Every structure is written in C-alpha cells, then in structure tokens.
Amino acid sequence: MAGSSEKPTPNKSKSGSREGASTSDGPVTQNKIDPWIASQSYYHGYLPRQDIPSILSQHGDFLVRSTEVLHV
C-alpha cells in the first residue's frame, strides 16, 4: 500500500481474536477455556490428532479441541 497511512493491525488467530488480547479479567491465556465454549457439543477438550478422523466423518463437520492437557 504505497503512500497509505494505515497502521498495521495486530495478528489475528483463526478464531478472530487478537494475539495478546486482554479482557476485563486480565490477559487471555492458553489456560483459560471459556465456559460457553466448553459447554458446546463441538468442544472436545484435550483430543489427540489421531482421534479426530473418527469424529469428523461428514463434509462440513468441525470440532474445537485443546492440544495440551490443562492443569488448572
């Protein structure tokens, strides 16, 4: 963008949230799972990659998972 005065925006994750974002409760960390997300049928918590194909069987299926065991 030659001649543009636009400022670069922070990197966004696939979920659309900004890296390093914060909430009124403090910084967002990898150890916090939103209770609303955790209650959804597509959230599977910790799930190894090799277990995913048995869950995602149809075109358009998706899930949200944790790639690390959280010790909260």
Does a structural domain hold residue 36?
yes
Output the six-digit token pair for 71: 């010790």
Q: For residue 37, what is the enclosing H or E element? A: helix 35-38
Does a structural domain hold residue 24?
no
Tens-place pLDDT, residues 9-59: 344 334 444 444 445 665 545 567 889 999 999 999 999 999 999 999 999
- Residues 6 or more apart whose Cβ sits within 8 Å of residue 46: 65, 66, 67, 68, 69, 70
pLDDT of residue 53: 95
Structural domain count, the chain: 1
Does a structural domain hold residue 47?
yes
pTM across the whole model: 0.49
| Residue-range definition of the domain harbouring residue 35 | 30-66
Instruction: Give the Cβ contact number of residue 57 at 10 Å.
Output: 7
Does a structural domain hold residue 13?
no
Q: For residue 23, what is the enclosing H or E element? A: strand 22-23
State which amino acid sits at residue 12.
K
Does a structural domain hold residue 38?
yes
